[in-house]
Structure 1
Amino acid sequence: MLRLHILASGSRGNATIVENDQTGHGVLVDCGICKRDFLARCDEARFDPANIDAVLITHDHSDHTKGLGVVMRGLAKMGRQPLVYAADETVRASKAVQDATSSCGTRNFRPEECLTAAGISIFPFATSHDAAASFGFRFEANGDAAGFMTDTGIVTPQAHAHLADVRLLALESNHDPKMLSEGPYPYVVKQRIASDKGHLSNEQAAEELASLLSNRLQAVAAMHVSENNNEYDLALRGFRAVMEREGCAARVSCGYQGRLSTLA
């Protein structure tokens, strides 16, 4: 079975570990947090960071990459040097990725390619974001499946197909449109967030969640919840309303900026 340990999720830093609980090994998705928080939340999740077999980078933005170098150096001191998987465009756009992988290198991936690490089959799919390239992932192991998608302004048909029929789902629910419109951000930033190359709103996320419900789905987390343009309660309320309306018993939670959340 798979577990998703959401170490941090939000505009100040992101990191998630996908664990294959049959082996205790896993893959790290993004690393935009400091080593102290990374290690503390791994310890809280009872996951040994020395068992990280690969690192996946969704895109080049700093809240997903800025902690990569220090964490990779920390893993090297534990005797681990996991391969970093990133699109060529991401590597070229991110000095943080370039610096972090100067000694271990990177493995390029493309949409629809199948990667394998920690006994997990990993299927990248493109998302719609204002980055050099951006991706979500489907994870499969031992008959189990999990979907992971943040940082996208729309849900493409390909993304929807990869997120379908999973047991665990981590899905962006970034902003409340009214809070965004009335909030302190400059107009150009508001337009960017609300655009097709920005982030999913609570309403967009709830609509997508409703279309993904199945008897297999057991747990879902609202991801990348904005601290300035959203509230955790609003994102949770939107997902729970879908569950109640459709009669689905899947558990609903959030990925938090400052504390661990686990889907299992």
Structure 2
Amino acid sequence: MLRLHILASGSRGNASVVEDAATGRAVLIDCGISKKDFMARCADAGFDPTRIEAVLVTHEHTDHTKGLGVVLRGLAKLGAHPTIYANPATSAASKPLQEIAETHLVLPLGTDALSVRSTDLEIAGMRIFPFGTSHDAAASFGFRVECDGDALGFMTDSGIVTPSAHEALQDVRLLALECNHDSHMLERGPYPFMVKQRIASDRGHLSNDQASDELTALLSNRLEAVAAMHISENNNEYDLALKTFTETLAREGHSARACCGYQGRLTDVG
């Protein structure tokens, strides 16, 4: 069975671990947090970070990449040397990834962003299917992870749900889905107009309402838990995002559990 350890989720830093609970083998999705926070939250999860065999980079924005170098150096001291997977356009646009490439193997990820299953990876005993998201980045991806009949879907940083994303996120047991902003809070909030436009655009972030609509469309008998991800500290509230998912599940009469990924503490799912 798969487990998701959300070490941090939000505009100040993101990092999540997908672990095969049966073997302890794992992959890390993004690393935009400090080594101290990374190690502390792995300890909180009871997870050994040396079991990480690969790092999957969703896109180049610093809240997803700025901690990569220091965390990888920390893991190297513990004897772990995970392989990095990043889209070539992501690597070209990211200074942290360019620096990492001098000492770590960086392999191409999702070179065909339009296809769900053409660029699947076999890592840590898991099958990983990258899919394209819609974000203002050089390239951006989410992931479907399958292992021994289990399935997990992971998507943040997308202004819309692309057809490939919707296909990849269907029929999963665990779902991590962006629930970034409340549209009314964003409209009335302190951000400049251009920033508000960017967030609300098709290449920005999913709103609570968009996330609710997608969750409704993805409900299946297999779904056991859904996590609201990348919740804005200025344009949303944890309780509001959680309420959005809880009410969606209740309205549809579904028994899945809803939770949040937090900026400053661990959330375990699964």
- TM over 0.5: same fold? yes
Give the aligned partner of residue 83 of structure 1.
Answer: 83
Aligned counterparts of 2:85 and 2:201: Cα–Cα separation in 1: 28
1:171 pairs, out of 170, 173, 177, with 177
Indicate the residue corresponding to 2:151 in structure 1: 145
The reply on whether 1:233 has 2:239 as its aligned counterpart is: yes
Question: Following TM superposition, where does structure 1 have runs of at least 4 consecutive aligned residues deviating by more than 4 angstroms?
Answer: none
Which runs of structure 2 are paired with 1:1-264 in the superposition (5 Å)?
1-110=1-110, 111=113, 112=117, 113-264=119-270
Size of the aligned set, in residue pairs, is 264
Q: Distance in 2 between matches of 1:139 and 1:241?
A: 27
AA matched with 2:252? E
Structure 1 residue 105, shift from structure 2 partner: 2.2
RMSD value over aligned CA atoms?
0.6
**Could you give the per-residue CA deviations for residues 2-28 of structure 1, whole angstroms, max 9, x where no partner exists?**
000000000000000000111101000
Equivalents in 1 of 2:265, 2:96: separation in Å? 24
Q: What TM-score comes out, normalization by structure 1 length?
A: 0.99
Please give the alpha-carbon distance, in whole angstroms, between the structure 2 residues aligned to 1:252 and 1:182. 27
Offset from partner CA, 1:45-97 (integer Å, 9 cap, x none): 01100000000000000000000000000011011111000000000000011
- Say which is worse superposed, 201-210 or 107-116, in terms of deviation: 107-116
Q: Which runs of 5+ in 1 are unaligned?
A: none
Measured in 1, the distance between the counterparts of 2:244 and 2:109 equals: 34
Following superposition, the deviation at residue 198 of structure 1 comes to 0.0
SS in structure 1 at match of 2:53: strand
Within 1, Cα distance between the matches of 2:101 and 2:2? 27
Q: In the TM superposition, what is the alpha-carbon distance from 1:200 to its structure 2 partner? A: 0.1
Identity percentage of aligned residues: 65
- Structure 2 length-normalised TM: 0.97
CA-to-aligned-CA distance 1:108-154 (integer Å, 9 cap, x gap): 02233111111110000000000000000000001000000000000
SS of alignment partner, residue 85 of structure 1: strand
